[in-house]
Amino acid sequence: MAVVLDLLNKDQRPRHPEKAHRPDQPVQQRKPEWIRVKAPGSPKWAETNRIVRENKLVTVCEEAGCPNIGECWEKKHATFMIMGDTCTRACAFCNVKTGLPQALDPNEPESVAKAVEKLGLEHVVITSVDRDDLADGGAQHFADVIQAIRARSPKTTIEILTPDFLRKPGALEVVVAAKPDVFNHNLETVPSKYLKVRPGARYFHSIRLLQQVKELDPTIFTKSGIMVGLGEERNEVLQLMDDLRSADVDFMTIGQYLQPTKKHHPVIRFVTPDEFKAFETTAYAKGFLLVSSTPLTRSSHHAGEDFAKLKAARLAKLG
């Protein structure tokens, strides 16, 4: 029997128990030349690693196996993943551990705030696992983390990447009331792929969630991202862009899907840099304030620099 082990935590239990009995998927052994990343290990990377460990924090950089961890941690840019390391959903693309999560850590908001202060972050990204087991999906915990960071680092701008809070009435309002600077919720893929790629989610619920953020607080920047290379058609991506613009989303990210293990959804193809550039050009033409579309684009990659660009783009549009 094949199992997907939790190698990050040197745990012999399956990291993805729901995938353990699935047939192996084909793995693209050789990546194209444009998929190249810097290996972690510099002194600044080590300092970021130390601060994360000292505060007993979880980062999506590690849990999701982000290819940009070497570059980002060298700049002291870490994306904190709150509410534990175990997700209640089992998306076919994701490498975050799945299962029954532990209880929330009441000290986590303060621990995250301390780490943000020690790293001296001007902009921080906070994400989480899905917590369908909680009555509010973790909305109040998001708000508590935002408030704790504001108390210690009032000049730090805050970007959140949230779950969809599906079937959690009132949850979104709690998070928006905490006033993050950027509200990100990823669509991940086109609607025709949801059943296989993102089975626990609902495409139009996610679109509506992003629209509601703007209705509740128009000053908050909204953001969403997708992966390509999962078998989607170009026209489907263009329609998705229109759906995001109908929800008044400001910022769109597009990156190449990379298969974490042979039990995850296979890479159907590697999208070329020229195709990514064409997506960027089209997305700008549709009215997004900012677009990041490259093979190695990820939701929080260059988030601080992108926030400055977002503010400038909004001012230019208003002026």
Measured distance CA(27)–CA(262) in Å, rounded: 6
Return the sign of the alpha-carbon dihedral for residues 74, 78, 84, 88. negative
246 known member of a binding site: no
Helix-then-strand count for the chain, H and E: 11, 11
Half-sphere exposure of 5 (CA within 13 A, CB side): 7
300 known member of a binding site: yes
Who's near 313: CB < 8 A, 6+ residues apart? 289, 290
Measured distance CA(273)–CA(299) in Å, rounded: 18
> Do residues 7 and 97 touch, judged by C-beta distance below 8 A?
no
153 known member of a binding site: no
Helix axes 203-216, 234-246, angle to 10 degrees: 30
292 known member of a binding site: no
293 known member of a binding site: no
72 known member of a binding site: yes
Annotated binding site for [4Fe-4S] cluster: 61, 66, 72, 87, 91, 94, 300
Annotated binding site: 61, 66, 72, 87, 91, 94, 300
